[in-house]
């Protein structure tokens, strides 16, 4: 276990150090909540994930491998409806550990006002980080 007081400097961290730092639980005040489909869902803001990657790793790189927009059927009550979604496959590389790819999807629900591509990229980056051990909040 890493002694947080004597943390190896950035550039001197081993793969084991990085994995341990990535896997640490987040402080409760970092975790956010929003209402989706009548339920409160807890999530990590993208800024918290980026900060974790910056603090835990010597360096990291993220790139968009592919992106697409499509229409899919959302089967919510009272009736199914077509929804525009952005789909992104992203790739996160941490040189000491390797590369992970993950898909991110963002739908444009009525009134959300979110940018489809930005939301899908953020989703992909968070999922890639999870593949390196960054833990999302548990409901």
3-state SS record for 51-90: HHHHHHCCCCEEEEEEEEEEEEEECCCCCCEEEEEEEEEE
pLDDT for residue 128: 98
pLDDT for residue 109: 64
CATH 3.30.390.80 fits 4-131, yes or no: yes
Structure-block tokens of residue 92: 């996160």
10-residue stretch averages of pLDDT, the chain, 139 residues long? 71 92 93 85 94 94 95 77 89 97 84 74 97 86
Locate the domains of the chain by residue range: 4-131
Burial string for 79-107 (b: 16+ CB within 10 Å, else e) reads eeeeeebbbbbbbbbbeebeebbbebbbb
d(CA 42, CA 132): 20
pLDDT for residue 2: 61
Query: Tokens 């590389």, residue?
Result: 93
């Amino acid at each position: 276990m890493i002694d947080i007081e004597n943390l190896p400097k950035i550039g001197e961290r081993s793969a084991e150090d990085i994995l341990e730092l990535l896997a640490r639980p987040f402080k409760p005040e970092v975790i956010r909540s929003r209402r989706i489909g009548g339920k409160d869902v807890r999530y990590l803001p993208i800024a918290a994930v980026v900060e974790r990657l910056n603090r835990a790793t010597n360096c990291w790189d993220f790139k968009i491998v592919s992106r697409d927009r499509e229409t899919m059927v959302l089967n919510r009550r009272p009736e199914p409806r077509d929804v525009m979604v952005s789909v992104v496959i992203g790739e996160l590389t941490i040189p000491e550990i390797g590369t992970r790819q993950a898909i991110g999807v963002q739908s444009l629900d009525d009134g959300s006002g979110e940018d489809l591509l930005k939301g899908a990229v953020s989703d992909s980056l968070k999922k890639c980080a999870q593949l390196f051990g960054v833990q999302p909040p548990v409901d």
